[in-house]
Amino acid sequence: MSQLPILPISSIGSLPKPPDLFQAEMAPLEQQDRAWMRQAQETAVADWLATQESLGIDVLVDGEQYRRSITTYFLEGWGCADIDPDAVWVLDNMYGQRAVIKRPATESRTLLLDWYQFAAARAQSELKVTVTGPYTLRDWVFDLHYPDRAAAVLAMAEYVREEVQALVAAGVRYLQIDEPAFVTRYDQPAELDVAIEGMRRICAGLPEHVTIFTHMCYGAFHEVYPKMLELPAQVFCLELAHVAPEMLDILRQHPFPADRGMGYGVVDAQDPRVESVEEIEARIRLALEYFAPEQLWINPDCGLQVVPRESAVAKLENLVAATHRVRQSLA
Amino acid sequence: MLVTTSGRFPIVSNGQHPLRAAVEEWRARVTPTPEAAWQDTELRAVQAETQAELLAAQSEAGADILDTGYVPVYDEWFQMARAAPDLEVAAPLRYLDTNTYYHHWVLDKVPKRNGESPIVSAYRHAASLTDVPLKPTLFGPYTIYAYADRQGPGDTPEAFAALVDMWAADVAALAAAGAKYVQIEESVVLRPKHRADFPLVAQAVERIASAAPDTTVVVHLACGEIGDLLLPFLEIPGLGGLGLDFTDAYRAPNLAALKQWRGDTFLQAGIADARSIRVETEADLHETLNAISANVPAERCWAAPSTTLLHLPRHAAFEKLAKLASAAHSFNGKRTLP
């Protein structure tokens, strides 16, 4: 982190996919033209890496161009789940394919290694690898195999740990474990505890030079703060472009610890409207009222996959411009 | 023991459904607003066909009190906003701990009803298709208020009271159209930070029930523990039924709370887990019904999914409903017709 500028800029994870790739990946895996898919995915990853570098992003992501969703990619890839043929409503007119866990993993838990190496060979800047956390891998799917939720979460934690071990051995220094589901069952302490235990198992023994991020979105963060600090992450990337007054209240009551980082979300990841530089700058300055500059990372609220590509690029462009303005004033 | 449902159903099968295609086509040619959806006759025709399909599917599964089969454009909050066209609907927010998202309202003024919501016309259509009792479901005014972006005059007791009046008018219209049952979804009040707002929910339910005195108004509370709110709920004047969640983490505390059950209020017992693809066995369902019937007479209890079956794949939703109906009807050894 010492080589990065103050207020380092990163993306969160997903970025818009080319329409033909998006369409093609909806087909069942066995019906997909694997060679065509791989080529299209590689092209899309390389394109987004170049785009982020040209925009001035400090820590790049691969845009998750090869993942059908943050859950099915891993569960199908590990061989422990099948996709239910009837997609489930999520929002608007959008229906999501749902994995059904049916067995322990039968395939290698090194899905990300190959993609990391592909990206690392093409990126000049630092890379951040994102992996879905074990709690979300259970909460956002169906399970017909494990006796209870905790057993499923801890089994997923072992699989994620194997992915992470392979990535760290290959040189990954920035690793983000996404747990958007962490914010949801805050009325059930046992659920939060098993999510924390899952991430602890993944991170146990990781070398100090690896920076662990976690990302949560769409949440009433004030409901899980300061409990969320029990997660063994150094940087918490939260959706804060429209920060709730309750979150600011609780940050005043329980200041964020000085030894942890905050990835402050400053652009809306759902709304295609492109925020102005001034708007984003104001959000960064609000963040500086609650966090020291050294603690802050600047990022979008969430993966930008659902907004059009031109909107995503423009949002990132303005995010970079706004951050540069604030950096200058801090200097 | 009667079997009822709890809100809308999933529709797509293998990714396809005529309504999904119609919504896609609609939003490609218009600016998608609640009023635009209401005015689009082609879209409403497909919604009406979908209702017929879902009514038949519920009957085939064995339900006794049916949902109207209404599937809104986008989501219920989006469509309900048609009743107050001066209000803006904003981006979708995650609802409770589900991975589903609803368009929240921007309450920057005291809302004013300017026509009925699509729920009412959907009820009329459903009632024209079946003689089986129907229970239309509306998200309640407190839920809309709790999730709303409230500003200025929209963040006042007057604004909430105006919202409640909107709902009361819709429920009165439903009653006038013949609805014997109406379900109001207010699960959010069981969340820790919202429990203190119980008086708002009580105020709303009393007002709504008074607008339809011959209709059984059921307040549904999924995904939470009723705890010390049970008796205050049962004391709300006009409350006809209370829906509780007896699955997963909520089974034990809600069964314990039932020891205080009193009066003639119906219990809508959410015993089939609407968020798990695992289909309960008849023995599992009977075990929960046995525990419930220790405190609530079977004739005052309806068996139901714990919440909307929307969270499941379509095939699983109706498989689960059929198992629930079979188990509930065999519970007393006989089926009590409505």
pLDDT tens digits, B27-36: 999 999 999 9
Cβ of B94 within 8 Å of Cβ of A218? The answer is yes
Cβ of A87 within 8 Å of Cβ of B96? The answer is no
The confidence band for B15, taking pLDDT boundaries of 50, 70 and 90, is confident
Cα separation, B129 vs B304, whole angstroms: 23
Cα separation, A26 vs A94, whole angstroms: 12
Q: Angle A204-A208-A214 (CA atoms, 0-180°, nearest 5)?
A: 65
- Strands, sheet with A99-101, edge to edge from the N-terminal-most edge strand: A81-83, A99-101, A142-143
Cα separation, B273 vs B27, whole angstroms: 33
The confidence band for B259, taking pLDDT boundaries of 50, 70 and 90, is very high
CA B237 to chain centre: 20
Q: Which residues of A touch B29 (CB under 8 A)?
A: none
Instruction: Supply the pLDDT for residue B193.
Output: 83
Instruction: Supply the pLDDT for residue A222.
Output: 87
Q: For the stretch B207-227, what's the b/e string if a residue is b when 16 or more beta carbons lie within 10 angstroms of its beta carbon? A: bbbebbeebbbbbbbbbbbbe
Round the average pLDDT of chain B to a whole number and report it. 95
Closest-approach residue (CA) in chain B for A222: B193
Q: Which residues of A touch B225 (CB under 8 A)?
A: 187
Closest-approach residue (CA) in chain B for A93: B74
Asked whether the CA dihedral B47, B52, B54, B55 is positive or negative, the reply is positive
CA A311 to chain centre: 19
Out of A63-67, B100-104, B136-140, B330-334, least confident range = B330-334
* Measured CA distances, A104 to A70, A145, A287, B187, B276 (Å): 19, 8, 43, 35, 19
Percentage of chain B lying above the pLDDT 70 cut: 98
Class of domain B2-17+50-331: alpha beta
Cα separation, A232 vs A210, whole angstroms: 12
Q: State phi, psi for B210 to the nearest 5 degrees.
A: -70, -20
What's the number of CA atoms in the CB half-sphere (13 Å) around residue A242?
15
Class of domain A19-68+105-330: alpha beta
C-alpha distance from B223 to closest chain A C-alpha (Å): 9
Q: Average the pLDDT over B257-278 and give the result.
A: 96
Indicate whether B332 pLDDT > 80. no
The interface pTM score, or ipTM, of the predicted complex is: 0.94
Q: Angle B292-B297-B303 (CA atoms, 0-180°, nearest 5)?
A: 55
Q: Which residues of A touch B224 (CB under 8 A)?
A: 187
List, for residues B72-100, the tens digit of each pLDDT value.
999 999 999 999 988 999 988 889 888 89
Cα separation, B13 vs B312, whole angstroms: 11
B217 within 8 A of B238, measured Cβ to Cβ: yes
Instruction: Supply the pLDDT for residue B333.
Output: 67
Q: What is the pLDDT along chain A (331 residues), one digit of tens a residue?
A: 448 999 999 999 999 999 999 989 888 888 899 999 999 999 999 999 999 999 999 999 999 999 999 999 999 999 999 999 999 999 999 998 899 999 999 999 999 999 999 999 999 999 999 999 999 999 999 999 999 999 999 999 999 999 999 999 999 999 999 999 998 888 888 999 999 999 999 999 999 999 999 999 877 788 899 999 999 999 999 999 988 778 888 999 999 999 999 999 999 998 889 999 999 999 999 999 999 999 999 999 999 998 999 999 999 999 999 999 999 999 8
